[in-house]
Amino acid sequence: MSNKPQLTVAVSGLNAIDSPGPGIGVIRALRACDDFTWRIIGLSYEALEPGVYMHEVVDKSYQVPFPSAGKDELLKRLRYIHEQEKLDVIIPNFDAELSNFIRLQPALQQMGIATFLPSVSQLEAIDKMHLYEFGRQHGLDVPETLTISSLQEMDKVESRLDYPMVIKGRYYEAYIAYNRVQAEGFYHKISAKWGLPVIAQQFVQGTEVVIAGLGNGKGELTGAIPLRKLYITDKGKGWSGVVLEDDSLIALARNFTEAANWRGGFEIEIMRSDDDQLYVMEVNPRFPAWIFTTVAAGQNLPGALVKLALGKEQPPFNDYIPGKMFVRYAWDLITDIKEFEQITTSGEL
C-alpha cells in the first residue's frame, strides 16, 4: 500500500483522434507525477471519444453536456459526478468549455473541487478576436487580425490584408486563402461549423514553433517547453515535434505570462519569420495535445498545475532537456459494443 496521498482528478479532452484533444496527454503526465497516486475520471462529450475506452489510462468516464447547454446544466452533472467520485481537481482542456468552468469556480470550490484557470477577462483578452490588440499593448508581435461577420466585410478585409491570408474559426480550424474565392469558401465552411464571427489574419511565411507553458497567476512563469513541429497534418495538427533549446522563446513565454498575469496552462503558437522575427499567431488557453512531451523534457507541467490548484508549493522549473521528440501514431483499440451501449445509455463507463 502506497503512503502517497491519492487524488481524484477529472479531465476532459479525451478525443484522441486525428485532431486530438489534450486530455490523454494530460492524464499520462499526471500518472508520471509520483507525488500522488491517481484516480482519473474522464469527462467526455461524445460516446466515441477514444479515451472513454482506454481503461488503463482513464479509471471511469462520465458524459457531460455540451458547452452550449450552459453552466447550470454542467454544474448539475458535476454535482452528480462529485457525489460518486469525490473529485479533488478538475482540468478542463477544450477552449469552448473554459468559460463555463471559469464561471463555476466559486461553486466548485464550495464543493471542495479545485481548479486552476484564468479569469474571464484574461480569457477574453487573448482570444483570437482580441489578441492583436493585446499584442499592441504589451509589445508582442501579432499579425494584423480582423473579424468578419458577413461576406460584405470581405472588401474591408482585402483593403487591410494581402493574400495569402489565414481564415480561422473563433475556437478551431484555420485555412490559408490565396484569393477571394478561397477566402469566401473558407468563411462559409467555418461559419457553418463554428458560427460567427470568422477571423482573418495576415499570413506570415516562416517556421512554425510552439510553446507549452504554465503561469502561476502571480505574473510568474512556472515552466515552459518550446517545440518545433516536424510533421503537420492537413488539419494543421503537429504529428511529430522536437524540443528546442531557444532562450528567445522562453523569454517570449515569460513576457506573455507577466503581461497577462496568466493563471493556468497555455500554448503559444508562433511563426518565426525568415528574418528571425517571432510572431504570435495564437494563444491557446490550455495545455496542447503534445503536453506529455514536457514530462520527457524534464518539466511535468500538468503535475505542477495540480499542485498549484491545491495551494501547494511549486517552484519554477529552471531548465529542461532539449532534443526530446514525439511522434504521434494511431492504432486500433478493441472494445465491445456493450461498452459503447453503456456510455450511450447511462452516460457512464
Residue 80 has pLDDT above 60, yes or no: yes
Residues 275-280: what's their mean pLDDT?
94
Q: Quote the distance between the C-alpha of residue 70 and its chain's center.
A: 20
Grid cell, residue 120, equals: 474571464
Per residue in 290-311, pLDDT tens?
999 999 999 999 999 999 999 9
Residue 20 has pLDDT above 90, yes or no: no
Q: Where in the chain is the domain with CATH 3.30.1490.20?
A: 144-202
Of all residues in the chain, what percent carry a pLDDT higher than 70?
A: 99
Q: What's the pLDDT at 17?
A: 82
- Rounded to an integer, what distance in angstroms lies between the CA atom of residue 335 and that of residue 54? 9
Per residue in 307-342, pLDDT tens?
999 999 999 999 999 999 999 998 899 999 999 999
Q: Does domain 144-202 match CATH 3.20.20.80?
A: no
> What are residue 61's DSSP bridge partners?
42
> 243 Cβ partners below 8 Å, 6+ apart?
225, 226, 227, 293, 296, 297, 320, 321, 322, 323, 324, 325
Q: Where in the chain is the domain with CATH 3.40.50.20?
A: 6-116+332-346
Grid cell, residue 235, equals: 488539419
190 and 176 Cβ atoms separated by less than 8 Å: no
Per residue in 104-154, pLDDT tens?
999 999 999 999 999 999 999 999 889 999 999 999 999 999 999 998 999
> 76 Cβ partners below 8 Å, 6+ apart?
none
Mean pLDDT estimate for the chain: 94
Residue 280 has pLDDT above 90, yes or no: yes
- Listing DSSP states for 39-56 in one string gives EEEEEESSTT-GGGG-TT
Q: What's the pLDDT at 85?
A: 97
Residue 1 has pLDDT above 60, yes or no: no
Class of domain 6-116+332-346: alpha beta
Which pTM was predicted?
Answer: 0.92
Per residue in 25-46, pLDDT tens?
999 999 999 999 999 999 999 9
Residue 238 has pLDDT above 90, yes or no: no
Q: What's the pLDDT at 2?
A: 64
Question: Nearest CA to 257 among 320, 211, 191?
Answer: 211
